Amino acid sequence: MRKIWLAGGCFWGVEAYFQQLKGVVNTTVGYGQGVTEAPVYKEVCTGDTGHAEICEVTYDEGILSLRNILEHYFRIIDPTTLNRQGPDRGTQYRTGIYYADEAEKAAIEGFLRERQAGYTRPIVVEVGPLRNFFPAEEYHQDYLQKTAGGYCHVNLGLAKPEERK
């Protein structure tokens, strides 16, 4: 099993999108890459903590490769918009790909270089090693599954039927 950490605006939609994919075995939403220990949602929303809303994705690389994860990620984000996805604005809603294994860095950076050719504006996705990750409060975990009519800007229908569990 491998892990990758993805920031793509509101973490509810990122989590719900990846939960439906074959090969994803677990997701946890939380806060990462910031300067405070064990932040809570109200603190992160101030923009003062430096944390982003992140979804930790645990996946079986025998079923779903890192490249496949990145391809899915690019389906649900606008990689050219800084500190905003959909209606959510602020540094906590930035896009980012965070890794624990330095070998993944080259693959991620190569993927971004390839993708840049398809955009007229620069890709502004933050890439770096995971510095820290703190699981969000329980009510944020599996939020869209638990909350009928819960809102998110991510189009969950972008996963093809054959890619779903």
Q: Which is nearest to 29 in space by CA: 136, 151, 153, 144? A: 136
Helix axis angle for 66-76 and 11-19, nearest 10°, is 130
Neighbour-count burial of 104, counting CB atoms closer than 10 A to its CB (0-12 exposed, 13-18 middle, 19+ buried)? middle
User: Could you give the C-alpha distances from 77 to 29, 62, 92, 100, 135, in angstroms and in order?
Assistant: 17, 25, 14, 22, 22
Helix (H) or strand (E) holding 34, with range, is none
| CA 39 centroid distance within chain | 18
Active centre residues (catalytic): 10
Phi, psi (5° rounding) for residue 48? -85, -15
